[in-house]
Amino acid sequence: METSTIAKLIRELTNKTVERGCTEAEAMAAANKIGQLLKQYNLSMSEIYLSESDCTTKQTESNGRNKGPIDRCLCAIANFCDCKVWFDRYRDGLRYNFFGLERDTELAIYLYSTIRVAMGSETFRFKQTREYHDTSYPARTLSTSFQKGMADRISKRLREMTANRKREESVEQVKSTGTDLVPVKQSKIDEEFKKLNLNLGKGGLISNKSISFEAYMLGKEAGDRVSLSKPIDNKIAGQLR
């Protein structure tokens, strides 16, 4: 019997409760049957509910028609949130797409928005400093260099957070269910993503030509000040660490 069929049967059995009109005997029989099926097919309840979760695509738009320094964070955001990411162009600019479980795509959009706002406010603050005014570099080069530094530092923080979170999740899942759900979840996302039949090219990164090293390093310092812990709402509270 296929895993999807077993998962559907187990989910149906979980609805057989006294609160839903079953007798105590019927509810007990359903619980026993669930236990037998989980053991027989080497499954966990977490895997059963994961198989029920649908993948979705959530989108957010850029502030302009061209790629910017924040794009250097996109892969790190997607990896942290267990999502796929790509961009496409439309009439007014760029559109970023995050694909994964709904809860994860919400988190990715939140992170992207948080970082974009932080980069704007920190760049404004940088423009008030002596380092911004007492230099021969063009203003645009200074701002871009600062934002690249911010983006690179934030990306590194997210990669470190991703590694720590996944390691902790794997340990806890194996302790509680005997199963590491991280690869199970990734496999589901990979399979669903293939069904989209997207023809994606390589986007590439913004060149580091004409960069101000001082502004870049100040941007990295600013990247350490960005809070990556505030949840979007109660639905994803506690997901960022």
For the stretch 114-166, pLDDT in tens is 999 999 999 999 999 999 999 989 999 999 999 999 999 999 999 999 998 87
pLDDT digits (tens, 9 = 90+) for 29-61: 888 888 888 788 776 666 666 666 678 999 998
Q: Could you tell me the pLDDT band of residue 76, with boundaries at 50, 70 and 90?
A: very high
Q: pLDDT-derived band of residue 232, with 50, 70 and 90 as boundaries?
A: very low
Category of 54 on φ-ψ map: left (φ > 0), alpha (ψ -120 to 50) or beta: beta
Q: For residues 193 and 99, is the Cβ–Cβ distance under 8 A?
A: yes
Q: Residue 12: its pLDDT value, please?
A: 81
Reading the block at residue 90, the tokens are 């439309």
Alpha-carbon torsion (176, 182, 186, 189), positive or negative: positive
pLDDT at 78 over 60: yes
Average pLDDT, the chain: 81
**Greatest mean pLDDT range, 36-50, 66-80, 226-240:** 66-80
Using the predicted structure, report yes or no on whether residue 171 has a pLDDT greater than 80: no
Q: Is pLDDT above 90 for 216?
A: yes
- Residues 15, 20, 22: CA angle, nearest 5 degrees: 90
Q: What are phi and psi of 21, to 5 degrees?
A: 105, 0
CB 127 within 8 A of CB 143: yes
Reported residue count of the chain is: 241
Mean pLDDT value across residues 89-99: 86
pLDDT of residue 204: 55
Write down the pLDDT at residue 49. 61
Using alpha carbons only, give the angle 164, 167, 173 rounded to the nearest 5 degrees: 135
Better-scored residue on pLDDT, 231 or 65:
65
Query: Tell me, what's the pLDDT at 241?
Result: 38
What totals of helices (H) and strands (E) does the chain contain, helices first?
9, 3
* Amino acid 114: pLDDT: 92
